[in-house]
């Protein structure tokens, strides 16, 4: 059983998300990611895909960038991760729905290492200003 900071993955799952056990192949997928292996995962809706990248992102150094074309899904994912008792800055999204002040807040949290999960729209990912900014932060 893999240990991270003296905790097993099951203990971290319980501590961070409140779940007693993994669903299906989640634990094997997470172990692959934590061992630095590229991992391609296909699961049905409700199959637990989000946990497969959220847990590794939270326990790894840096920020994970998640590319999503759906603004509503980004908001839903950010709200969900924040509802597990995590502080607001742990997850953000970066897309066209944000004001300049909100973008500045997201960037501040990223620079300060507060943000573990950043959901980005494909078009935001390729903007020159964002590409340059991403080069300045630690990406997990």
Record the pTM.
Answer: 0.87
Q: Are the C-beta atoms of residues 51 and 17 closer than 8 Å to each other?
A: yes
Has residue 17 got a pLDDT over 90? no
Average pLDDT value for the chain: 89
Q: Are the C-beta atoms of residues 89 and 63 closer than 8 Å to each other?
A: no
Residue 42 token pair: 């296909």
Domain 61-140 has CATH 3.40.50.300: yes
Q: What are the extents of the domains in the chain?
A: 1-60, 61-140
pLDDT bracket for residue 2 (50, 70, 90): low
Has residue 18 got a pLDDT over 70? yes
**pLDDT 10s digits, 80-127:** 888 876 677 899 999 888 999 999 999 999 999 999 999 999 988 888
Q: Work out the angle at residue 101's Cα, subtended by the Cα atoms of residues 95 and 102, and round it to the nearest 5 degrees.
A: 40
83-99 per-residue burial string, b: 16 or more CB within 10 A, e: under 16: eeeeeebbbbbbbeebe
């Amino acid at each position: 059983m893999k240990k991270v900071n003296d905790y097993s993955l099951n203990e971290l799952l319980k501590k961070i998300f409140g779940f007693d056990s993994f669903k299906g192949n989640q634990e094997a997928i997470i172990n692959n990611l934590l061992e630095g292996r590229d991992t391609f995962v296909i699961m049905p809706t409700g199959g637990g895909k989000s946990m497969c990248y959220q847990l590794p992102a939270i326990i790894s150094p840096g920020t994970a960038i998640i590319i999503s074309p759906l603004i509503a899904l980004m908001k839903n994912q950010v709200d969900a991760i924040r509802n597990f008792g995590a502080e607001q800055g742990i997850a953000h999204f970066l897309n066209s729905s944000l004001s300049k002040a909100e973008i500045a807040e997201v960037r501040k949290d990223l620079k300060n290492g507060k943000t573990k999960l950043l959901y980005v729209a494909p078009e935001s990912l390729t903007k020159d200003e964002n590409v340059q900014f991403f080069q300045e932060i630690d990406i997990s």
